[in-house]
Structure 1
Amino acid sequence: MTGFGAVSASAAPSVSGIPTNAVSPDGSRITGVEQIDDHSIRLQVHSAAMDKTFPVDVVRPADNSRPRPTLYLLNGADGGEGLASWQAQTDIPKFMADKNANLVIPVGGPFSYYADWIKDDPVLGRNKWKTYLTEELPPLIDAALGTNGVNAIAGISTAGTSVLTIPMAKPGLYKAVAAYSGCAQTSDKLGTAFVKSVVGMGGGDVENMWGPPGSPEWLENDAYINAEKLRGVDLYLSSGDGSPGKYDTIDGRAEQLGGGRTQIDGDDNQLGIETLINQIAVGGAIEAVTNFCTRNMQQRLESLGIPATFRYASGTHSWGYWQDEFKRSWAFLSRSMGLSE
């Protein structure tokens, strides 16, 4: 990889041919591999920048006869550490099982915005996620999975912000971006309030992330302001409008996973109703904001003559819509990664 150096992987025990001791020059390394099912593995990846080991869930390509591209898929505010994750709330891993791309879902980084924080936080610890997703993890994935080096990145909610700035940090690493229900702007009054709210939910201090609002780091991590740096990246952005849609009913939520209850509903019907009310009230308000942000970003890109695909629909800030939107955007992502499917 450009600017990184070779990753070494000497002979070692492996699962499905994946070396368990791939090591990068900075000391980041794969420390373990677990077979989950016929299509999926879980890696343990040690980040030198954060001095911590994180799980990484991988769905392998249907056909491994030749090197394949890689799609990095980021979770939302809690980093996929709980049940609010692509793995628990959607059928996307199953959907990808017959596709010819590596699907890589990092786990970790709750309430971090997948950013490089300027200071360690007393609650959220050390966060160097931009470094992890540009310098540490991709070369290890390439070495371990035998990829063709073509990457795309996608994410929801807070990660829908991050996936727009991560490619700016290492131009050429990510060929395509899909941002679902994100807010590109971070340094204006609305964006700052949004970031403060999310980080505060996790007990973190935003000043440990980017310094006091208005500091250079806030501007550097604002994809709206720095949109010119996205020129040449294939872009797909989508958002609901916050109004109730097809998944904002008890039956609609059950339909999301093919007729089963979603895991966050639990077995208690009252809990399901309370969750639904929260989805409509809070999720509706959040999605109205991301809709506003996404339309702002559309105007910004159009003013710069940067092409992008945008899609708007009804719906709240919730998993059923993100599951559908991922599937809808797959044709875009696969073309960008050079696949014919």
Structure 2
Amino acid sequence: LTTDPVLGINLWQTYLSRELPAAVDAAYGSTGKRGVAGLSMSGGPALDLAIQAPDVFDAAASFSGCPAPSNPFATAGISAMIAGGLNNPFNMWGLPGSQGWRDHDPSLNVERLRGTAVYVSSSRGAPGAVDRIPDGAVPPFGGMAVEAMVNYCTSIFVDALRRADVPATVSMRDEGAHTWPLFEDQLREAWFTTLAPALGTS
């Protein structure tokens, strides 16, 4: 929405939902079936891309993402993370609470996911076997905190799906501390339950 003094205007939605698929089709060909998936900070946006471009994506998945960005607690966390990288979090959708944040909040737009194969997963943040943490290693306290936060966001999204009776594969876990092994396990589960069938590759 706003020009960044360093980065200018980045039209990521246009690139990911229009330009990139067209380039891939032109270079390699395709079946016309497409999916989008994201982990952590890209999990919620992956679902949002499917909402904004339902004609492009047949499936969408979020691995420990935050698909409820306009929730005040989530907005604060997202804004702090972006600002921590010396970026302006309000360049993308305007001020918190504005229509832009609501328009790109999957939890407020679940009806637009009807007909899309959806997978969503998060954990309470407790480390477990899925994280494959070496014996004697310091627990990933930062990841534990982040996972607990995204679990809160994901729960809001899942509740909205259920209220609207929009089908989805939901994997809410007791263990997982926002680690790469957790994301790998979520990706494997999403592929076999949701993505591959929707893309016709199962």
Do these two structures clear the TM 0.5 threshold for a shared fold by scoring above it?
A: yes
Bigger Rg, structure 1 or 2: 1
Q: Give the structure-2-normalised TM-score.
A: 0.92
Provide the identity percentage: 37
Is 1:136 aligned with 2:23?
Answer: no
After TM superposition, what 4+ stretches of structure 1 lie above 6 angstroms from structure 2? Answer: none
Q: Aligned equivalents of 1:225 and 1:194: distance in 2?
A: 18
Letter in 1 for 2:165: G
Q: Aligned equivalents of 1:326 and 1:123: distance in 2?
A: 34
How far is the alpha carbon of 1:251 from its aligned partner? 5.0
Alignment correspondent of 1:234: 117
Alignment correspondent of 2:201: 339
- Which of 175-184 and 326-335 deviates more? 326-335
Q: Give the structure-1-normalised TM-score.
A: 0.56
Alignment correspondent of 1:182: 65
Q: Tell me, which stretches of 5 or more residues in structure 1 are unaligned?
A: 1-117, 253-272
Q: Aligned equivalents of 1:190 and 1:170: distance in 2?
A: 27
Is 1:321 aligned with 2:173?
Answer: no
The answer as to whether partners of 1:124 and 1:203 remain within 8 angstroms in 2 is no
Question: Which one of the candidate residues 249, 273, 288 is aligned to 2:133?
Answer: 249
Q: Give secondary structure in 2 for the equivalent of 1:330.
A: helix
How far is the alpha carbon of 1:305 from its aligned partner? 0.9
Q: 1:229-249, CA deviations, whole angstroms, 9 ceiling, x for partnerless residues?
A: 111111100112100112262
The answer as to whether partners of 2:39 and 2:62 remain within 8 angstroms in 1 is yes
1:267-286 mapped onto 2 (5 Å cutoff): 276-277=138-139, 280-286=140-146
Q: Aligned equivalents of 2:158 and 2:191: distance in 1?
A: 20
Letter in 2 for 1:213: P
Alignment correspondent of 2:35: 152
Higher relative contact order (CA 8 A, sep 6+): 2
The answer as to whether partners of 1:157 and 1:181 remain within 8 angstroms in 2 is yes
RMSD: 1.7
Q: Aligned pairs, how many? A: 199
The answer as to whether partners of 1:184 and 1:297 remain within 8 angstroms in 2 is yes
The answer as to whether partners of 1:248 and 1:316 remain within 8 angstroms in 2 is no
Alignment CA distance shift 1:210-1:192 (3 Å): same
Letter in 2 for 1:153: V
